[in-house]
Structure 1
Amino acid sequence: MVTRSKAHAHQCHISLKPIDPTEPKSMKSALQNLHWQQAMRDELHALHQNKTWSLVPRQADMNIVGSRWVFKTKLKSDGSIERFKARLVAKGYNQLEGLDFHETFSPVIKPTTIRLVLSLAITKGWSLRQLDVKNAFLHGHLKEVVYMEQPPGFSDPINPTHVCHLHKAIYGLKQAPRAWFDRFSSFLLQIGFYCSPADSSLFVFRSSSHTILLLVYVDDIIVTSDHPSHLSTLITKLSSEFAMKDLGPLNYFLGVQVSHFGGGLFLSQHKYAKEILAKASMTDCKPIGTPLAQKHHLQLEGGPLVNATNYRSIVGALQYLTLTRPDLTHAVNLVCQFMHQPSTTHFQAVKRILRYLQGTVDYGIRLLSHSSLTLYGFSDADWAGCPDTRRSTTGYCIYLGANCISWASKKQVTVSRSSAEAEYRAMASAAAELTWLTYLLRDLGLSSHSSPVLFCDNTSALHMTVNPVFHARTKHIELDYHFVREKVAAGALTTRYVPSQSQIADLFTKAVSKDVFHRFRSKLGVLPPPPSSLRGTDKDIF
């Protein structure tokens, strides 16, 4: 019998293809276009104006890193061209640790923090503004001595053999993100902000009259305040120190489209999802109702091997899509477990995710304005769900009022000897996330009088959270036992039972039927673009 899978077997070999073939691949081809010529001149003008380097004679004992041009067409959220960007980049892979770089780590804002702040702002009716720093990395001061080749095609006519002694950071250097963050955070601390201990990329300014929250993700910035006039004052201060561009009300951030409607905010990655489908040559595929077959039986041995590079590219792109699509989290987590040696069976699972994405390409997550600021969560586990290792899968989702702000699906690090143990370990993971979110809310000045509630559908695990008797069967999970038990005993966490048919976290642990999947998906707030008159409350969750 010639089945559909056999007839279209060639579709397993999905290949990523570039979206925009017009971007030049070399400086020679870029010089043939007036747009790119001007873009390179603008970049050099910014570098010279910023006094990024000074030319010095070349010495034999110098470690000189190369430089090259990178070209990118910047697009608006609707896909139209915004501008042509040419960037001079250092070949940082030529740097030597201990000589021209030391520390490189630079913090970036967590997605959960972004969703929490957006939920808080929309609930309280605060204005949201977006800022962009032009050539952000160029503002960072270098502590090390770094030498770089002159820009290709733009060598100094008087000193063509000289090299650039860098005084400021430049894109491509290993320490550039850290240098920029140090410079920017130091300035914020000088003008009265303090850094949140729970998330070092969240800065808070609080006074008796107003509050300002600032989120930093490299050179993209979100600011919100209970007084719009103070936002304008802050933007003026930032612009006096950095080349800052005010992009107005928040509408497009880190590839996420933010649209306002009558009931709150709608976050979607519609444009990014379409790009994934286009890169994978799946724009004309037939949609399907769920991203994972209910009886998929995915395991390490899955038939003939396929091109691992293509597999990793597609799955890596899908990972970023889970920023606004919690309904994809478990399926993407599952296919990520076969990155090292993907087979045709695993690729078929990826194709199914893409087919599901085709039917829900415009879906996103809603953050409702008519919501409380109560923190609660759901945790669940699929006991011994992995056929290869017999390890369990942890899943949880956490709400701030009516809005889902955090979710996860991950394999547990050890084998659980019972379903109660697996559920208890899942509760420990959810409790840790709830604890962190409690600290984050406290940094924002929002201390709740009631403790967060964690819902679980396993009565044995719930009994373990309140029973002070140390049973023999639980002594090997002492660490998690003490963590959850002490939180409950201290009143910092409340655990409650929820029926399995209302356990939303079930979506993050295993494949479920289509009806159950769609019902839980709507509870997570993953829906199509809303009409402007939509309203919602916490009651929508149950």
Structure 2
Amino acid sequence: MTPNPLPSILGPIPLISPSPFRPHNPEPTPEPINPEPIIMPLSPTNPEPNLPQPRPNQPEPTLPQPSPHLNPISSNSLSSQNISTVPPAPPPENPAPPPANPAVPLPSHPMQPRSKSGISKKKCFATSTTIDYLQTEPPTYTIASKFPQWHEAMASEFAALQRQHTWQLVPPSSDQNVVGCRWVYKIKRNSDGSVSRYKARLVAKGFHQQAGVNFAETFSPVVKPPTVRIILSLAAQNRWSLRQLDVSNAFLHGLLKETVFMAQPLGFVNSTLPSHVCHLHKSLYGLKQAPRAWFERFTSHLLTLGFKASVADASLFILSHGSVTVYLLLYVDDIIITGNSSTAVSNIISQLSDAFELKDLGPLRYFLGLQIDYKKGGFFVHQRKYLTDLLHKFTMTDCKPASTPIATTPLLTSTSTDLLSDPTPYRSLVGALQYATFTRPDITFAVNRVCQFMHKPSPAHLVAAKCILRYLKGTLDRGLLFQLGPFALTAFTDADWAGDPCDRHSTSGIVVFLGNNPITWLAKKQHTVSRSSTEAEYRSLASGAAELAWIRQVLCDLGLFLPSAPLIWCDNTSALALASNPVFHGRTKHIEVDYHFIRERVVRGDITLQFISTDDQLADVFTKALPSPRFHRLCSKLLVCSTDHQFEGG
């Protein structure tokens, strides 16, 4: 066996003895110590140290050098640390020849930085996304003018303005209050979300107008939600068809009574008269008086066709000629028309088309966010698309559904000092939820509660509003079913006495049925504090009687008369006794007005009062937050699920 030459080259390996000043470790870890260089004796023939001589034609071996940052340890320092050394072994008589290439190469690695290889990569600090303005409304004219679809929509709108003789170009003067204008773009979509058409509208900047100079009256009535539900209920009970109409550029048909000047629209400035302004003869979208001018124009034309306006709702028009009956509902430029004669309905549509640019959209399918599905026995009305868009707007499409729209505890209060830094999203959400109650009476009380904190919303209020969205996420298939039933009015009234923890005001809850169809409901906070539960229930009873009186007036305008007096169900025996008992004493003087209002209608036979147990009181869902089992039991009598019924065409 060839002896290893390293001990003779590196010298003796020191052994470290345990120190008496530290605990003994049976397996101590030796500290790295540089060996002391060994000085070999000089020979007479070789003045250099006695090292192995290199062979001819071979490079000299390179000895491993100690690390430059480690200092050699002298023998004195070793002895001072109680380190014993072993004397070096004598060199062998016949040392083994050194290896063929004893040189140790310098450490190297095949990997190297990209900079040395000449590779460079640009850093991207921001990513730019391209917006598809054929799926999103463009914000400015500059962007819209680059797309042929939007340019065609603007040209169509401008051509309609020219056909209607909306304005006349006149020279400008210093005494004119010139109103600006701009283009507004809207993508009209079908109920399934697909693009129906691209709409561009020229809108006047009404905020440039001055009161008393170029506008006066601005109020314009719109149809009330209960009126729409009454017409749907009557159409379902009589099996009438519903037709939908849309008036193109409705506001352009209104005639202006005031003098209004407007700048020429972008992209359509007259090249021969570029400095002239538009003297408006007809109303334009954006003007403060435009809705009123259009309503007066359309109403006056309907009167010439034989229609009469309803006393209870100015947007409801009735045509009664012999045995022919036609009802027409107007909501700005959207129209619903129905009647017992399809021929008469078609004739009226033809007459309206002669006076206005009218589009017949066929059977009623999608109206003001309401989706109407036809069933063999009636109509199923829901807002699935509207609610889905609402969930997407507030990034709640993947949220976990809630079992109820509002929790029973804790109660919402306005005493929190931790307010939202930006209340705009909260107000936008609550406003959108208010319209969702059009077909969802089950969220009426929850929406009423969150509406009471619009002025100073807190994070707790935002959580409560999002809880309503979570509930809607799990009940998108719920809606109202308008079907056949008896022609009778039935109401349920209830009150939650002193339910508000802040001011101890009570909450009234009312729901009214026409046959089997709910047509109106409300959850309303009472204006004053009630001193007893009887007083709170009696005020709710008075509100229900007032609602029934209005509905009876609508039915009377429609030429319909109830075979029996409306029935009100109340679960408070004291309130019923107070309404039926003619004795009026001091304990009820503070509700004298409500007392006489109810008492007069009971005596005349306009309403009938009956007692109902609290367990069966449907109006209880509009007065307070309920536990999940009771909440769902009451809601099952108000709403239906789309999967529970078979619809025509589906």
TM-score (norm 2): 0.78
Shift of 1:526: 4.2
- Trace 1:132-151 onto structure 2 (pairs within 5 A): 132-151=246-265
For 1:263 and 1:237, the matched residues in 2 are separated by: 31
Q: Which one of 46, 61, 68 corresponds to residue 182 of structure 2?
A: 68
Structure 2 counterpart of 1:352 = 467
Q: Superposition pairs for residues 46-445 of structure 1, below 5 Å?
A: 46-302=160-416, 304-306=418-420, 307-368=422-483, 370-445=484-559
Q: CA deviation at 1:75?
A: 0.4
Q: What is the CA deviation profile of residues 259-279 of structure 1, one whole-angstrom value per residue up to 9, with x for unaligned ones? A: 101221111110110111111
Alignment correspondent of 1:13: none
Residue by residue over 1:324-353, the C-alpha shift from the partner in whole angstroms, topping out at 9 and shown as x without a partner, is 111011000100101111111111111211
1:468 aligns with 2:582: yes
Describe the superposition over 1:443-465 as per-residue Cα deviations: whole angstroms up to 9, x where unpaired.
11111131101111001111111
Q: What displacement does 1:23 show? A: 1.2
The one-letter code matched in structure 2 to 1:335 is: V
Superposition deviation, residue 296 in structure 1: 3.0
Question: Which runs of 5 or more structure 1 residues have no equivalent in the other structure?
Answer: 1-17, 535-542
Tell me, yes or no, if the aligned pair for 1:198 and 1:440 is still in contact at 8 Å.
yes
Specify the code of the residue in structure 2 equivalent to 1:417. Answer: R
Superposition RMSD in Å = 1.4
The reply to whether residue 479 of structure 1 matches residue 593 of structure 2 is yes
Letter paired with 1:287? P
Aligned to 1:538: none
Alpha-carbon distance between aligned partners in 1 of 2:643 and 2:446, rounded to the nearest angstrom: 23
Change (3 A) 1:373 1:529: farther
Give the letter for the 2:364 counterpart: L
Q: Secondary structure in 2 aligned to 1:295?
A: coil
Tell me, yes or no, if the aligned pair for 2:317 and 2:327 is still in contact at 8 Å: yes
Distance 2:314 2:643 in 1: 33
SS across alignment from 1:381: strand
Question: Identity of counterpart residues, as a percentage?
Answer: 54
Q: What are the Cα deviations for residues 126-146 of structure 1, in whole angstroms up to 9, with x where unaligned? A: 111000000000000111111
Asked whether the 8 Å contact 1:261–1:530 carries over to 2, the reply is: no
Deviations 1:225-257 (A, max 9, x none): 101011100000000010000000111100100
AA matched with 1:249 = P
Distance 1:311 1:63, change over 3 A: same
* SS of alignment partner, residue 636 of structure 2: helix
CA contact (8 A) 2:373 2:647 kept: no
1:509 positional shift: 0.3
The letter of the residue matching 2:497 is W
Take 2:332 and 2:582, find their aligned partners in 1: how far apart are those partners?
46
Give secondary structure in 2 for the equivalent of 1:405: strand
CA distance in 2, matches of 1:20, 1:375: 49
| Cα distance in 2, alignment partners of residues 236 and 482 from structure 1 | 50
CA separation of 1:149 and 1:529: change in aligned 2, threshold 3 A: farther
2: CA distance, partners of 1:20 / 1:353: 33
For residues 349-380 of structure 1, the C-alpha deviation after alignment (integer angstroms, 9 at most, x for no partner) is 11211110110122211111x21110110000
Secondary structure at the aligned position of 1:523 is classed as coil
| Matched residue type, 1:37 | H
> Secondary structure in 1 aligned to 2:505?
coil
CA drift of 1:21 comes to 6.8
* Residues 423-468 of structure 1 deviation map (CA, whole Å, 9 limit, x = unaligned): 1101111110100000111111111131101111001111111111
Contact map agreement 1:288 1:356 (CA 8 A) in 2: yes
| Higher RCO structure, 1 or 2 (CA under 8 Å, sep 6+) | 1
* Partner SS state of residue 189, structure 1: helix
- Shift, 1:529, TM fit: 4.6
Aligned to 1:12: none
Residues 26 and 533 of structure 1: CA distance in aligned 2, closer, same or farther (over 3 Å): closer
**3-state SS, counterpart of residue 273 of structure 2:** coil
8 Å CA contact 1:396–1:508 kept in 2: the answer is yes
Partner SS state of residue 634, structure 2: helix
Distance 1:204 1:119 in 2: 16
| Match for residue 152 of structure 2 among 38, 44, 49 | 38
Instruction: Return the alpha-carbon distance in structure 2 between the equivalents of residues 44 and 335 of structure 1.
Output: 44
C-alpha contact 1:128 1:223 (8 A) present in aligned 2: yes
Whole-Å separation in 2 of the counterparts to 1:93 and 1:429 = 39
Offset at residue 525 of structure 1 (A): 2.6
Q: Which amino acid aligns with 1:75?
A: R
Give the deviation of 1:19 after TM superposition. 12
Could you report, residue by residue, the CA deviation over 1:15-65 in whole angstroms, capped at 9, with x for unpaired residues?
xxx999721010000011111010100000000011000000101001111
Q: List alignment gaps of at least 5 residues for structure 2.
A: 1-131
CA contact (8 A) 1:263 1:533 kept: no
3-state DSSP of counterpart to 2:635: helix
Which position in structure 2 is the counterpart of 1:4? none
8 A contact 2:434–2:447 mirrored in 1: yes
The code of the aligned residue for 1:398 comes to V
Q: 1:500 aligns with which of 610, 614, 620?
A: 614
Instruction: Note if 1:523 corresponds to 2:637.
Output: yes
User: Compared with structure 1, are the counterparts of its residues 529 and 69 closer, same or farther at alpha carbon in structure 2 (3 Å cutoff)?
Assistant: farther
The Cα of 1:472 is off from its aligned counterpart by 1.1
**Paired letter, 1:251:** R
- Matched residues in 1 for 2:153 and 2:585: separation? 69
